[in-house]
Amino acid sequence: MNATVADLIAKHRPTLDAALGAIRSRTYYTHFPDSPKAYPAEAKDAALSTFEGRRGRSWTWGQTGADGTVVGKERSPYGFDLEISYDHMDLDVLLPAMSAAMPAWRDAGAEARAAVCIEILSRLNTRTYDMAFAAMHTTGQAFMMAFQAAGANAQDRGLEAVAYGYSALTAHPDRAVWEKPGKGEPVRLAKKWVAAPRGIALVVGCNTFPTWNGYPGLFASLVTGNAVVVKPHPHAVAPLALTVATAREVLVEAGFDPDLVALAPEAEGEGLAKTLALRPEVRIVDFTGSNEFGDWLEQNVRQAQVYTEKAGINTIIVDSFRPEEYQAALGHLAFSLSLYTAQMCTSPQNILIPRDGVGVGTEVKSPEEFGADLAGAIDALLGEDGRATAILGAVVNPFILERLERAAGVGKTVLASRAVIHPEFPDATVRTPLIAAVDAADSEVYTREWFGPISFLISTDSTRESIELYRDTVKAHGALTAAVYSTSDEVVDAAEEATWEAGANLSINLTGPVYVNQSAAFSDYHGTGANPAANATYADLAFVAGRFRFIQSRRPA
Amino acid sequence: MNATVADLIAKHRPTLDAALGAIRSRTYYTHFPDSPKAYPAEAKDAALSTFEGRRGRSWTWGQTGADGTVVGKERSPYGFDLEISYDHMDLDVLLPAMSAAMPAWRDAGAEARAAVCIEILSRLNTRTYDMAFAAMHTTGQAFMMAFQAAGANAQDRGLEAVAYGYSALTAHPDRAVWEKPGKGEPVRLAKKWVAAPRGIALVVGCNTFPTWNGYPGLFASLVTGNAVVVKPHPHAVAPLALTVATAREVLVEAGFDPDLVALAPEAEGEGLAKTLALRPEVRIVDFTGSNEFGDWLEQNVRQAQVYTEKAGINTIIVDSFRPEEYQAALGHLAFSLSLYTAQMCTSPQNILIPRDGVGVGTEVKSPEEFGADLAGAIDALLGEDGRATAILGAVVNPFILERLERAAGVGKTVLASRAVIHPEFPDATVRTPLIAAVDAADSEVYTREWFGPISFLISTDSTRESIELYRDTVKAHGALTAAVYSTSDEVVDAAEEATWEAGANLSINLTGPVYVNQSAAFSDYHGTGANPAANATYADLAFVAGRFRFIQSRRPA
């Protein structure tokens, strides 16, 4: 082991141990602070300069396999082209180089790899402002959300994956003496086990959360000994370019081959993810994105272990409220429906409400009244353009505008979407949420995902029907999140029981600063793998244990 | 929890704890003794009576879903028909009943399920002689091997799977209070996690090791909360019928629905494994058997997690011997090539030897001389018919005889196969091993599996070429086991390095009572999942962690 690696182990072992403790208790834990106060104030301006300095230029780090052409057509949802170009790869050069890098990484062992991974995350942490601008102007997230979600929160999810990977690697010794008692001398064998990587791991990045959704797979594969090729979404390359460049920098410093982590950006429409996912060298695929491509990967990629986080029909069951919590609950729901223009795979879509109304203390609110109250809460939340854009961010993709137009013709519009002028970026595309009222009978409307700020207030015969509808639609179509609001223990119990079958993650009567669409690293699971919305979760042992294999030798001792 | 379950936990917790310790250290551990001395002597005669009593009759336990027809055409490789018939199932009745049984099993929790599983294994242990006759007369194993492999050793593999499953289930709390510090009051959420089963698990049994290869998947799925339907090989139903009947008996006693474990035997040629594997209710498949069907499962079963143990080209690299170990090594190899007529998926097939010969001290043995010495060792081992049949058992399937005929025309026959008359069962089909000498250039011969007592002595240019050939053929075609004989540390190191890439389990210079084709529960892995011979291993966390999903609820605390 070289001195740098030994230093990194000494430096990061306490962090690793704390993370290992956190995944055992799954209580509150964070390593990377998500408050800007924890970072030097001048870093923001420097990062903005860095970001501006990258525009209109080629962002390159001399990666093995660059084929001499460049790609890149990123456009900020805030209304301008980034004009950053990236090296396009010759896979027949890149992938063999990555394969060749693996044996030394495997032989370094779990502790060294974990330390290097944590150093990469820590280095990324020092570049959180840099990441914030890269993420904001590719995902359309508001600056503060990009700072937190693409920065510290993503880093925490990466650390969580490192901890799970290390935990699985060390669930088992690397040597043992096996002694079988016998009549005379016992039989003694000396056994050795090596955790061998599966091969090259492919991370297919998404447009909305390239790092938060990319880091779990990236770091789970890397810590378990694999090389990782990152294929970013063509509209969100910069955050993963910063990630890969940083990882390579740390790998070189620690004495490893930088080709253990590589970027493979694609020309728009190239279909590089399919090509990569079917390469025989690729033995692991982590994907976040559309059900269509995720399902394709699950159905067609046979040589690799495939982990998918797709989308679903996140559902809220509304039954009854304590009167003193009603306003808080409405404000809370308004925020959940507005945050990042509901462009989160965890944003609620279906709100199930009994047609006889919901109880608020002794009062009964009809679906129409509840809809009006919720619309009012959203109007209040988003009434001021500056505050609205800080919550909404910008619309990441034009198809969301088309979908909003279609949704305006569905059912009865409870709340219409409106355009908001961004005070700083007048060309940004900003929209407020739309809510449409439909009936439980209109299942063709609400049993598919309307990605973006569109939700349905669905009248059901009763809360019992709501719970059945929730269970059945989620089992059939998937969901990452669900929520229930009820003052009745029986209703909450029934919603939980339905949840164990439907496989969503349920929030109960939340009114405070944690929202149904948020999941905290080290405690909340993101996805379950138990319904069509995802075949894996961030993170558990199943997410890491199949990324490597124990190989054995034994000899007389 | 009912009193019986509480009693079972009290009774079996020490066994569970010992097994949990053993999977951490992977040193020598066994719970179920495999020496007949540990069992009452009179049990053998009673078991023989039981076995004879089952012949010519219907073996039924009134399982939900019996469709009124019976199936069963088992024939003992020792030369007689068993004439046992079993209830055929209506899957549209059986599978819904199994699904309905799962919630209570899930709610019982990991410790209760582990205790019930260990009670099933312990009950099976009391029926080890019974199992021995059932296994002997379906698999063709010699009685003592059937007693050990289908009895105690299989039970240990089952216990190992229970321990891994319990370990993965409890890597995580079922409740936590999450408290995030804030400016004023901290935010507190009470979180709850349920380990939810994936669904119905299918175990597809094999002809040669129905219990040893069946128990890991069966008990891994059962302990993690799933119901298990067992589809036995049509020629080896009895061992799994005894298993399922015993499991159902224990489940009823413990207050659970017996349909959590069910047998689904098929008419010959019915193709029931395919039908079951594609049923939407089936979410886990464990298969042991041919590459052809295993590959089909891996390629076509998309709704279920598929674990396969197939076959490969187990390889022995012969480089050099210490003179005092040469005879022992030959005897050892002779046993490996003869045990159960090499009908083990772990039996060696390819023996790689430098054409310039192997060193035995200062002497050099040419491939011809080494082949003659090995043939002599086999002749000596199998010279006496009683001893020979106790090692060889009987030929399980006529296709092995056809293959032996074909092999007699391949290369140069070093050792011809001969028929042995079984002293007790004159109609038994018993054959000794065949060895053919070929050249490394004859890859079309040795790069496929010749299941049965056929091996090839393959001349290579050098040990270096042997190691490369080993690595490349195993990467391409798979292997479960490998061995190297060398006095050179460099050769052994190179063989190990090749092994980490090829993903076989390597035995080095074994001459004692542990053979390359044997793997001990709790210490040796069986399969690695790292080459085409298997996509999983008995047992590690990857084998169990994907059999259940953590589902979460959270609420203000």
Q: Give the gap in angstroms from C-alpha B57 to the nearest C-alpha of chain A.
A: 41
Chain B residues with CB inside 8 Å of A24's CB? Answer: 171-173
List Cβ neighbours of A441 (8 Å cut-off, separation of 6 or more).
none
pLDDT of residue A484: 98
With contacts defined as CB-CB under 8 Å, which chain A residues touch B26? 172-173, 176, 178, 191, 193
CATH class of A315-508: alpha beta
Distances (CA, A) of A339 to A152, A342, A519, B36: 18, 6, 14, 69
- B176 chain-A contacts, CB cut-off 8 A: 25-27, 523
Fold (CATH) for A3-310+537-556: Aldehyde Dehydrogenase; Chain A, domain 1 (3.40.605)
CB of B501 closer than 8 Å to CB of B473: no
Residues of chain B with pLDDT under 70: none
Return the pLDDT at A279.
98
B3-15+36-310+537-556 belongs to CATH 3.40.605.10: yes
Count CB-CB contacts under 10 A for residue A172: 17
Is the CB of residue B125 less than 8 Å from the CB of residue B39? no
* Contact between chains at A523 and B551 (C-beta distance less than 8 A): no
* Residues B339/B387, Cβ–Cβ less than 8 Å: no
Distance CA B82, CA B51 (A): 9
Nearest by CB: A179 against B28, B179, B302: B28
Quick: pLDDT tens for A66-83: 999 999 999 999 999 999
Count of pairs with CB atoms under 8 A, one residue in A, one in B: 209
Closest C-alpha to A495, from A472, A468, A518: A468
Decide if A524 and B549 are in contact by the 8 Å CB cutoff: no
Which chain B residues contact residue A511 at CB under 8 A? 556
DSSP string, B304-330: SEEEEE-----EEEE-EE-HHHHHHHH
The owner of tokens 């501006």 is: A52
Contact B523 A172 (CB under 8 A): no
Output the six-digit token pair for A212: 């938060």
CB A27 within 8 A of CB B179: yes
Are the CB atoms for A211 and A521 separated by under 8 Å? no
CA–CA dist A178, A186 (Å, integer): 10
Q: Comparing C-alpha atoms, which of A339, A318, A330, A368 is closest to residue A483?
A: A318
Residue whose token pair is 């059986």: B94
Contacts of residue A68, defined as CB under 8 A and 6 or more positions apart, other chains included, come to none
Residues of B in contact with A198 (CB under 8 A): 530
User: C-alpha angle with apex B244: B241 to B246, nearest 5 degrees?
Assistant: 105
Nearest CA in chain A to B553: A506
From chain A, pick out residues whose CB is under 8 angstroms from the CB of B523: 176, 178, 191
Q: Which of B168, B530, B554 sits opposite A551 (nearest CB)?
A: B530
Model pLDDT, residue B53: 98
Q: Which of B200, B540, B548 to mutate to test the interface with A (most CBs of A within 10 A)?
A: B540
- R_g over Cα of chain A: 25
CB burial class (10 A; 0-12, 13-18, 19+) of residue A271? exposed
Mutate to test the interface with A, among B25, B179, B180, B480 (most CBs of A within 10 A): B180
Select from A23, A175, A180 the residue whose CB has the most chain B CBs within 10 Å, as the one to mutate to test that interface: A180
Q: For CATH 3.40.605.10, list the domain ranges present in chain B.
A: 3-15+36-310+537-556
Report the greatest alpha carbon distance in chain A. Answer: 87
Residue A526, pLDDT > 80, answer yes
Q: Which residues of A touch B496 (CB under 8 A)?
A: 192, 553
- d(C-alpha B108, C-alpha B140), whole Å: 40
Looking at CA atoms only, how far is residue A159 from chain B in angstroms?
17
For residues A532-538, give the mean pLDDT: 96
How far is residue A122's CA from residue A159's CA, in Å, rounded to a whole number? 10
B286 phi, psi to nearest 5 deg? -115, 125
Which of B24, B496, B551 is the closest to A499 by Cβ?
Answer: B551
C-alpha separations of A103 from A258, B105, B211 in Å? 13, 44, 37
Model confidence at A183, pLDDT cuts 50, 70, 90, reads confident
pLDDT at A75: 97
- Cβ of A503 within 8 Å of Cβ of B180? The answer is no
What is the number of other CB atoms lying within 10 angstroms of the CB of residue B405? 11
Residues of B in contact with A493 (CB under 8 A): none
- Closest by Cβ to B177, choosing from A27, A179, A302: A27
Percent of chain A exceeding pLDDT 70 equals 100
Six token digits for residue B131 = 């199992």
Q: Which of A194, A503, A550 sits opposite B196 (nearest CB)?
A: A503
Asked if A191's CB is within 8 angstroms of B523's CB, the reply is: yes
The CB density around residue B40, as the number of other CB atoms within 10 Å, is: 10
Look at residue A2 and tell me whether its pLDDT is greater than 90. Answer: no
Interface mutation vs chain B, best among A23, A24, A25, A26, most B CBs within 10 Å: A26
Q: Is B73 exposed, middle or buried (0-12, 13-18, 19+ CB in 10 A)?
A: middle
pLDDT at B445: 97
Residue A268 has pLDDT above 90, yes or no: no
What's the average model confidence in pLDDT over A98-123? 98
Residue A100's nearest CA partner among A2, A199, A169, A195 is A199
Residue type, B104: A
Task: Compute the 3-state secondary structure of chain A and give helix, strand, coil in percent, each to the nearest 5.
Answer: 45, 20, 35
Residue numbers in A near B300 (CB within 8 A): none
Residues of B in contact with A524 (CB under 8 A): 191, 552, 554
d(CA A387, CA A62): 42
Whether A28 sits inside 8 A of B178 (CB atoms) is yes
Mean pLDDT of chain A: 97
Q: Which of B102, B106, B500 to mutate to test the interface with A (most CBs of A within 10 A)?
A: B500
CB contact under 8 A, B514 and A549: no
Test A545 with B542 for CB contact under 8 angstroms. yes
In the block, tokens 């597809």 appear at B204
Whether the predicted pLDDT of A1 surpasses 80 = no
**H or E element in which residue A269 lies:** none
The residue among B239, B38, B62 whose CA lies nearest residue B134 is B239
What is the nearest CA distance from B172 to chain A, expressed in angstroms? 5
Closest A-chain CA to B295: A302
For β-strands A454-460 and A434-439, DSSP reports them as: parallel
Residues of B in contact with A492 (CB under 8 A): 555
Q: Are the beta carbons of B545 and A545 separated by less than 8 Å?
A: yes
Chain B residues inside the 8 Å CB shell of A189? 514
User: In the prediction, which pLDDT does B155 show?
Assistant: 98
Cα(B317)–Cα(B324) distance, integer angstroms:
19
Is A191 within 8 Å of B508 when comparing Cβ atoms?
A: no
Total length of chain B: 557
What value does the mean pLDDT take over residues A383-402?
96
pLDDT at residue A275 greater than cutoff 80: yes
- What phi, psi does B145 have (nearest 5°)? -65, -40
Q: How many CB atoms lie within 10 A of CB A200?
A: 28
| List of chain A residues whose C-beta atoms are within 8 Å of the C-beta of residue B509 | 555-556
Contacts of B499 in chain A (CB under 8 A): 551, 553
Nearest-CA residue of chain B relative to A518?
B554
Cross-chain residue pair B540–A545, CB shorter than 8 Å? yes
Mean pLDDT to the nearest integer, A100-108: 98
Decide: A79 and A140 in contact? Cβ < 8 Å.
no
- Are the beta carbons of B514 and A196 separated by less than 8 Å? no
How confident is the model at residue A185, as a pLDDT? 87
Report the 10 Å Cβ neighbour count for A53: 9
**Distance from C-alpha of A308 to C-alpha of A302, rounded to nearest angstrom:** 14
Q: Identify the DSSP state of A36.
A: G
State percent of chain A over pLDDT 90: 97
pLDDT of residue B239: 98
Q: Are B295 and B310 in contact (CB under 8 A)?
A: yes
Coil/strand/helix, residue B66: strand
